[in-house]
Structure 1
């Protein structure tokens, strides 16, 4: 049986690369064209996803959330010049997550999460991983809307499509 949080992270990594692949097909200027949306440009939205993915990775690997937030503020505020740079950074970070998954015996263990915005609570590692996937899905939706505002179609990157991208497993 697959580990559901890990599978959702794999979906998140796949979907992010899928939408980056679509953006790569478009004129390079699309990345930095201003739109009236949640973020001023697609590059800003991608930087936000990357910064948050990194922040949660740091939390999962033992850094306190306030420290991790501080560490990632500059990532959230800076944009990269090319889609390839985003694709490379997201791919490297996804591999770091996968290495971390391989080292974890129990994603249901809890950690004390000190969220400066919401307070302190015991949180399962699996909940954090599911949040990373959910957060990415939300903001890829923003990117899809931004692409449409700029006159371009987005691309399907739904979880259901991800099911069909993975090799068929033995029928059980």
Structure 2
């Protein structure tokens, strides 16, 4: 039986590396060139995706949401100078998520989520994983739009493409 949350996390890691790989192909200023969009630069968008991924990882590994939010707040304004730095950060965090999900016996178990912005609710671990992936997909779309505004093509990183590439990969 397929572990769909684990597959979604693999997709999320693949999609992040796909868009980062595309940015690596562009002139270095594309990362920090200002655009009129959801974020002032591509680097800001990548930082935001990373910070939210990190915050939710802390929640999944036992931190309360207020504490996880506080622990990652300073990272939200941290803009890295190179796409290679982003690639390393995202790859390390994807590995941590992979280790975490492999250690889970019941992704349908609930935790009490005390969201400082929305209140308290019981939330399944699998729902948090889905949110992390959905959030990343949304903001990779922002990055694609920003790249087009800068005069560059983006890279396809749809879930369906992941299916076919994963099936064709000898390590899948």
Fold match by TM threshold 0.5: yes
Structure 2 distance, partners of 1:168, 1:4, is 19
Partner of 1:40: 40
Structure 1 distance, partners of 2:13, 2:69, is 21
Structure 1 distance, partners of 2:32, 2:75, is 16
Partner of 2:3: 3
Unaligned runs of 5+ in 2: none
Structure 2 distance, partners of 1:95, 1:127, is 20
Kindly state the Cα deviation for residue 168 of structure 1 after the two structures are TM-superposed.
5.5
Structure 1 distance, partners of 2:167, 2:5, is 19
Count of residue correspondences: 169
Which secondary structure does the structure 2 equivalent of 1:141 belong to? helix
Structure 2 distance, partners of 1:167, 1:138, is 24
Kindly state the Cα deviation for residue 7 of structure 1 after the two structures are TM-superposed.
0.7
Partner of 1:118: 118
Partner of 1:62: 62
Instruction: Give the 4+ runs in structure 1 shifted more than 4 A.
Output: none
Which secondary structure does the structure 1 equivalent of 2:122 belong to? strand
Does 1:50 find its partner at 2:26?
Answer: no
Counting only pairs closer than 5 Å after superposition, residues 3-152 of structure 1 correspond to structure 2 as 3-152=3-152
Kindly state the Cα deviation for residue 167 of structure 1 after the two structures are TM-superposed.
2.9
Structure 2 distance, partners of 1:108, 1:70, is 26
TM-score (norm 1): 0.96
Unaligned runs of 5+ in 1: none
Structure 2 distance, partners of 1:149, 1:74, is 28
Partner of 1:166: 166
